[in-house]
């Protein structure tokens, strides 16, 4: 598979099948490409914290998931090393959040990705920056490996 877009989609499909965390939180991978991903999630009652707004950890989890699908789109296992997030406005029960990841730089095994989280009105909820590191392994079985 040499088409980068097809490869990104195949990686996302393989990852999502085993991504029980993303599944359990009701996330949907709306789109993926080489170094990009958009993931959505609706805020339900189990995501509300003691201040009656969405738990920041779950907003982070959404952004981190978009980051993961963007940086794993090249069929090389890639993990998060360091992430930072700025919370700009609260997310509320029933909000539909969307996290859009873009690659800012990728050099060798290290990458930086920027993820913007917005709500259904387009208001900015959070800005996230993730630093990735490629490690050993591939996401897809190699072609012709099993016969």
Pick from 40, 5, 56, 53: nearest CA to 118: 40
Which is nearest to 101 in space by CA: 114, 87, 92, 89? Answer: 114
Which residue, chain included where needed, has tokens 């700025």?
Answer: 86
Q: Which is nearer to a second copy, 31 or 131 (CB)?
A: 131
**Looking only at residues 70 through 89 of this chain, which bind a second copy when binding is defined by CB under 8 A?**
72, 77, 79-89
SS3 72: coil
Using the minimum distance from each CB to a second copy, give the nearer residue, 20 or 142. Answer: 20
Least distance (Å) between residue 143 CB and a second copy? 20
Q: Choose the binding region for a second copy from 1-9, 30-38, 125-133 (rule: CB under 8 A).
A: 125-133
92 scored as a contact of a second copy (CB under 8 A): no
- Collapsing DSSP to helix, strand or coil, 17 comes out as helix
The answer to whether residues 133 and 112 touch, using CB atoms and an 8 Å cutoff, is no
Q: Which stretch binds a second copy (CB under 8 A): 1-9, 14-22, 30-38?
A: 14-22
Nearer to a second copy, 52 or 144 (CB): 52
CB 17 within 8 A of CB 4: no
What CA–CA distance (Å, rounded) separates 112 from 83?
Answer: 9
Residue 50 near a second copy by CB under 8 A: yes
Site residues (vs a second copy, CB under 8 A): 14-22, 24, 45-52, 54-58, 60-65, 68, 72, 77, 79-90, 104-105, 107, 110, 112, 114, 124, 127, 129, 131, 139
């Amino acid at each position: 598979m040499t088409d980068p877009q097809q490869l990104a989609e195949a990686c996302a499909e393989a990852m999502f099948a085993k991504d029980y965390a993303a599944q359990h939180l009701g996330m949907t991978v709306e789109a993926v490409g080489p170094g990009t991903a958009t993931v959505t999630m609706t805020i339900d009652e189990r995501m509300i914290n003691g201040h009656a707004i969405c738990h920041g950890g779950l907003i982070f989890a959404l952004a981190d998931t978009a980051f993961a699908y963007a940086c794993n789109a090249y069929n090389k296992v890639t993990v998060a090393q360091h992430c930072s997030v700025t919370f700009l406005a609260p997310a509320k029960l029933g909000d539909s959040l969307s996290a859009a990841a873009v690659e800012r730089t990728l050099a060798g095994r290290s990458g930086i990705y920027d993820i913007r989280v917005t709500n259904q009105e387009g208001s900015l909820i959070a800005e996230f920056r993730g630093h990735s590191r490629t490690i050993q392994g591939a996401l897809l079985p190699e072609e012709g490996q099993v016969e």
